[in-house]
Structure 1
Amino acid sequence: MDYGLTGKRALVLGASRGLGAASAAMLAAEGAEVLAASRSGTATGAGVTGVTLDLSDAASVAAMEARLAAEPVDILVLNSGGPKAGPARGQSAETWRTAFEQMAVALFRLADAALPGMEAAGWGRIVTIGSSGMQAPIPGLALSNGVRGAVAGWSKTLASEVAPLGITVNLVLPGRIATDRVAELDGVRAKASGQDVAEVRRASQATIPAGRYGTPEEFAAAVTFLCSAQAGYITGTALRVDGGMLRSQ
């Protein structure tokens, strides 16, 4: 199926590895011209160009805002790294502020910068890579649960505002996908419980009906579809890619 992305320009955040890199590669494979943003500015693959962006640096975010004003994109994939694991109790105000600025405010600013170009074109796709914790908070990930919950509310609100302009806004929520981030969290759980990492991974996979972790490519396929011409009537949604892990509807 032709997703109608040939000639479209896309900006994918956090695209040097993991879910962002897989999404950038698949969008490029569908014919999009992809800017892959990351702190290192590195990227590989045909149709993918690396650009530097540090979501924790206000000046770096401002520079990308200016670039989006001068060089509009049709597709924006918002992706931020997760904060350190930890409980809700005892987190400092500064820790909360830092997480919110990097994981929420920076994304909001970049979406605002991209919207005028999409509105002028009468077509746009904004997809935010979230977390299953947006629908079922994950124990020990209080910062991520809290901040990503705010992002979910923003995404749903924005979707209603820009739908008449031909712009869709959606979330894709990964469950346990085989990335460095999930490996890091398995390591944290193993250390806390005194178990071997392999034991922790097996126990985690046993809670997933599919019986395994997903692949970055499986996740990227969902992102790419929501960016397609065929997905023009899908907006304001949160699509889970989790192997059936969450039992709620």
Structure 2
Amino acid sequence: MDLGLSGKTCLVMGAGGGLGGAISQTLAREGAYVAVADIALEAAKQTADAIIASSGKSLALQWDLADLSIIPDRIAEVVEALGPIDVLVNNTGGPPPTPASGQEPELWEKHFKAMVLSVIAITDQVLPNMRSRGWGRIITSTSSGVVAPIPNLGISNALRLSLVGWSKTLAREVGPDGITANIVLPGRIATSRITFLDEQKAKRENRPISDVMRESTSSIPLQRYGEPQEYADVVAFLASTRSSYVSGSVIRVDGGMIQSI
């Protein structure tokens, strides 16, 4: 299936990690030009170098999402090197595990800025060019916690859920301009983030991590964690010309883990 991404410019945030890296490389294999952004420049370079080694076109960017002031300059770098942005993949890191109660306002403010305001501000920067060309894709990666809140991830559950309301509202606003906006939420995908959360749970409960993982996978109908590539394939479809009538949606990539309809 031709996804119609050849020659389109994609900006992927958090692209030095498992999900962002897989998304970037999958888009590049479809012929897209991919700007790879991450807080760790070396991680971004590793993803970009892998794309270039496979004859793709890529640009690595150091990008701290908590610093809103750098957004115009970073967007300008992408446009100069690869062209106007057609596809934006909003993918942010997660906050530390915490209860919902008892957290300092400064902690909420810090992660709201990096996880929510940054996504909104970056999207606002790329929308004018998308509107002028009559085509664009805004894809925002969140968490299964926006549907079924995850214990001890109070900050993540609350802040990521705000992006669902924002994306749904945005989809209606930009639809007449040929732009779609969708949320993709991962279940338990085998990344360093999931390993970290499993380790933290094992430590809190004084249990072997193997027990935690066994318990976790037993709650998933497919009886395993997902692979980053499986998540990336869904994102690539939503980025494509083939997904032209999918907008305002929340797409689960969770192996059937979330029990609600």
Report TM bin, short chain: over 0.9
Q: Name the structure 2 match of 1:45.
A: 50
Could you tell me which runs of 5 or more consecutive residues in structure 2 were left unpaired when the two chains were aligned: none
Q: Secondary structure at the match of 1:185?
A: helix
Q: Secondary structure at the match of 1:45?
A: helix
Residues 1:131 and 2:136 aligned together: no
- Offset, 1:50: 1.1
Q: Distance in 1 between matches of 2:88 and 2:69?
A: 20
Contact 1:68 1:114 in 2 (8 A): no
Matches within 5 A, 1:113-152: 113-152=125-164
- Offset, 1:66: 4.5
Number of matched residues?
A: 249
Amino acid at match of 2:66: S
Q: Distance in 2 between matches of 1:233 and 1:64?
A: 30
Q: Secondary structure at the match of 1:6?
A: coil
Q: Secondary structure at the match of 2:183?
A: strand
Q: Name the structure 2 match of 1:194.
A: 206
Contact 1:75 1:126 in 2 (8 A): yes
- Offset, 1:74: 0.2
Residues 1:26 and 2:26 aligned together: yes
- Normalised by the length of structure 2, the TM-score is 0.92
Contact 2:38 2:61 in 1 (8 A): yes
| 2:227 aligns with one of 200, 203, 215 | 215
1:210-246 CA distance string (max 9 Å, x none): 0000000000000000001010000000100000001
- Cα RMSD between the aligned structures? 1.3
Amino acid at match of 2:21: A
Q: Secondary structure at the match of 1:170?
A: strand
Could you tell me which runs of 5 or more consecutive residues in structure 1 were left unpaired when the two chains were aligned: none
Matches within 5 A, 1:47-66: 47=56, 48-66=58-76
Determine what percentage of the aligned residue pairs are the same residue.
46
- Offset, 1:68: 6.1
1:175-226 CA distance string (max 9 Å, x none): 0000000000000000011110111001100000000000000000000000
Contact 1:179 1:216 in 2 (8 A): yes
Q: Secondary structure at the match of 2:168?
A: helix
- Offset, 1:36: 0.5
Q: Secondary structure at the match of 1:85?
A: coil
Q: Distance in 1 between matches of 2:87 and 2:117?
A: 19
- Offset, 1:56: 1.6
Amino acid at match of 2:2: D
Q: Secondary structure at the match of 2:255?
A: coil
Q: Name the structure 1 match of 2:97.
A: 85
Q: Distance in 2 between matches of 1:114 and 1:25?
A: 21
Q: Distance in 2 between matches of 1:11 and 1:210?
A: 31
Q: Distance in 2 between matches of 1:237 and 1:57?
A: 29
- Offset, 1:58: 2.8
Contact 2:59 2:78 in 1 (8 A): no
- Offset, 1:60: 2.9
Q: Secondary structure at the match of 2:50?
A: coil
Amino acid at match of 1:13: M
Q: Name the structure 2 match of 1:13.
A: 13
Residues 1:181 and 2:186 aligned together: no
- Normalised by the length of structure 1, the TM-score is 0.97
Contact 1:155 1:170 in 2 (8 A): yes
Amino acid at match of 2:11: L
| 2:239 aligns with one of 203, 210, 227 | 227
